[in-house]
Amino acid sequence: MYDSYNRKIQYLRVSVTDRCNFRCAYCMPAQGVKMLSHDEILSYEEFLRIIRILSNHGVKKIRLTGGEPLVRKGIIPFIRDIAALQAITDISMTTNGSLLAAMAEKLKAAGLTRVNISLDTINPKQFRQITRGGDLAQTLQGIEAALAVGLTPVKLNIVLTNMITEQDIAYFVDFIHREPVSVRFIEYMPIGESATGPGPSIEEIKTMINSFGRGKLKPTIDICGNGPAKYYDLPQAKGSFGFITPISEHFCGVCNRIRLTADGKFKPCLLSNQEIDVKTALRNGASDDKIAELFYQTIAKKPQGHTLTNPDEPTQFFRRMSQIGG
Ligand SMILES: Nc1nc2c(ncn2[C@@H]2O[C@H](COP(=O)(O)OP(=O)(O)OP(=O)(O)O)[C@@H](O)[C@H]2O)c(=O)[nH]1
Ligand SMILES: C[S@@+](CC[C@H](N)C(=O)[O-])C[C@H]1O[C@@H](n2cnc3c(N)ncnc32)[C@H](O)[C@@H]1O
Ligand code: SF4
Ligand code: SF4
C-alpha cells in the first residue's frame, strides 16, 4: 500500500505496553507518566486480530516496542501467534535489555527474529543515572544472550546526550571489532522535555570514532533493517556503526511505517499528534474490512514529514516516547 507521497507502507510498530522498568531521562519524567489501566490496553487477542488483518493488506514487518515490551506478561505466546501469520516475514523488538538474558532463548524459539537494545553509556554510574535506576550489567547480559541465541543482527541504540563520553565511544569502537553488532547513535527528538543536556553532534561522534587509529568510517549498506539508520563500517570490524538523524537530516521521504499504541490508536507519524481510534471500532464489533479501512485512513493521513525544525509550526506533543514506542 502506497501513501499520498508514494511511500510504501509495510511496517507496523506495535507498542504492547506503556509500562517500563526504567525512567530514561530523555524519554519520560522522573515520576513516570500516568499509566493506562488494564481495560484501556489492548489484549494480545486484539493486537493479533489487527496484525492479522493488516498482514492481508501489505504489512510484512512487525516491531514490538513499549514502554518496555518485556515487562508485559504473555509476550512469548503472542510472538508465536504473530510468527504463525504467513505474510509476516520479520518480527523484531526494541528493548532496554534488562530482562532479556532470561528470556532470549524462548523469544527466539517463539519466532522473534532480532532485537534492538538501548544502551546509552557503558559507565555503570552514568547508566544508573540516565535510566534512573537501571543496572548496566543486566543490559550487557541481555546483549550477550541475544548474540548467543541468534536474535541477530543485534543493534544497539544510543541517544546522544551529555552523558556520552570518549570512553563510551572507545568501548563501542572496540565492541564492533569483537562482535557483529551495529552500534547506532540517535539524535534526541524533543517530544517532551529531557532531563539531560544536549550531547555531541553526529559529526562530532564520527570525528571521535575516526580518531582511534582503527581506520576511517566508510558508508556501507543497510544490515537487515527497515529503519532510518545510515550505516558505516571500519576496515577490520565485524560490526558497524549507524546514525539516526531525525533532526539534522530527516528521513521522512522514505518513511515506511505506521504505529499502533498500547491503547489502540493508529498513529500515522511518530512526530504528530494525529491518531485514529481502532480500539473503539474493535470493541464495537467492527468487521475486518472496517479495521482495514481505518488502516487505510491512517496511511492517507501520513504527513509528508515532521515539522520539528520548522519554527513556524511549534508542536506540543501529548504523548511521550514511552507512550508511543519510538
Ligand atoms: N523520527 C523518527 N524516528 C524513528 C522512526 N522509527 C524509529 N525512529 C527512532 O529511531 C530509533 C531506533 O528505533 P528502533 O526501534 O531501534 O527501530 P529501527 O531503527 O527503525 O529498526 P530497524 O532498522 O528495522 O532495525 C529510536 O530512537 C526511534 O524513536 C520514525 O519513523 N521516525
Ligand atoms: C521509547 S523506547 C521503547 C523500547 C524500549 N523500552 C527501549 O528503550 O529500547 C524506543 C527507542 O526510543 C528511543 N528514545 C526514547 N526517547 C527518545 C527521544 N526523546 N529521542 C530519540 N530517541 C528516543 C530509545 O532510546 C529507544 O531506543
Ligand atoms: S527509553 Fe525505553 S527503557 Fe527508557 S524509559 Fe523509555 S521506554 Fe523505558
Ligand atoms: S517523523 Fe513521521 S514521517 Fe518522518 S520518518 Fe518519522 S514517522 Fe515517518
Hey, what's the torsion of the CAs at 60, 66, 71, 73, to 10 degrees? -50
6 lies in some domain: no
CA pair distance 240, 177, nearest whole angstrom: 9
User: In this structure, are strands 11-15 and 257-260 parallel, antiparallel, or unpaired?
Assistant: parallel
Domain assignment present for residue 172? The answer is yes
Say how far apart CA 7 and CA 86 lie, in whole Å: 23
- State residue 240's pLDDT score: 97
95 ligand 2 Cβ < 6 A: yes
Q: With pLDDT > 90 as the criterion, what percentage of the chain qualifies?
A: 92
Sequence-separated (6 or more) residues with CB below 8 Å from residue 211: none
Number of structural domains found in the chain: 1
Domain range for 195: 11-323
Predicted local distance difference test score (pLDDT) of residue 316? 86
CA–centroid distance, 253 to ligand 4, in Å, is 8
Q: By alpha-carbon position, which residue is closest to atom 26 of ligand 2?
A: 118
Contact 68, 93 (CB under 8 A): no
Other C-beta atoms closer than 10 Å to the C-beta of 108 total: 20
pLDDT tier at 227, thresholds 50, 70, 90: confident
Q: Report yes or no on 107 lying in a domain.
A: yes
Does ligand 1 come within 6 angstroms of the Cβ of 151? no
Residue 2 lies in a domain: no
Q: Determine if the peptide bond prior to 219 is cis (ω within 30°).
A: no
**Any atom of ligand 1 within 6 Å of the Cβ of 227:** yes
120-144 per-position pLDDT tens digit: 999 999 999 999 999 999 999 999 9
Residue of 118, 120, 127, 139 to mutate, ligand 3, most atoms within 8 A of C-beta: 118
Indicate the top mutation candidate among 116, 182, 189 to test ligand 1's pocket, ranked by most ligand atoms within 8 A of CB: 116
Give the pLDDT of residue 308. 87
Measure 284 CA to ligand 2 centroid, in angstroms.
Answer: 33
Pocket of ligand 3 contains residue 194 by CB under 6 Å? no
- Residue 35, annotated as binding a ligand: no
224 is in an annotated binding site: no
Per the domain annotation, does 31 fall within a domain? yes
Considering only CA atoms, which residue is closest to atom 13 of ligand 2? 326
145 within domain boundaries: yes
In a domain, residue 40? The reply is yes
User: How far is it, in rounded angstroms, from Cα 128 to Cα 22?
Assistant: 9
- Separation of 26 CA from ligand 3 center, angstroms? 9
61 touches ligand 1 (CB under 6 Å): no
191 neighbors 150 (Cβ within 8 angstroms): no
CA angle 45, 46, 51 (to 5 degrees): 95
pLDDT of residue 192: 84
Q: What is the pLDDT of residues 66-99, one digit of tens each?
A: 999 999 999 999 999 999 999 999 999 999 999 9
Instruction: Give the ligand at the shortest distance from the Cα of 325.
Output: 2
pLDDT at residue 195 in the model? 87
Domain at 237, CATH number: 3.20.20.70
In the sheet where 265-267 sits, what is the strand order? Answer: 218-220, 230-233, 240-244, 182-186, 155-159, 114-118, 90-95, 61-65, 11-15, 257-260, 265-267, 276-277
What distance in angstroms lies between residue 68's CA and the mean position of ligand 3's atoms? 6
On whether the CB atoms of residues 63 and 13 are closer than 8 A, the answer is yes
Q: How far apart are CA 67 and CA 207, in angstroms?
A: 33
Tell me, yes or no, whether 3 lies in a domain. Answer: no
Centre of ligand 3 to C-alpha 289, Å, is 34
Q: Cα of 140 to ligand 4 centre, how many Å?
A: 30
Q: Is the CB of 33 under 6 A from ligand 2?
A: no
CB of 218 closer than 8 Å to CB of 210: no
C-alpha 99 to ligand 3 mean position (Å): 13
Neighbours of 121 (CB within 10 A): 21
Q: Would you state the pLDDT for residue 270?
A: 97
Distance CA 273, CA 296 (A): 18
Q: Would the CB of 322 count as within 6 Å of ligand 2?
A: yes
Confidence at residue 194, expressed as pLDDT on a 0 to 100 scale: 87
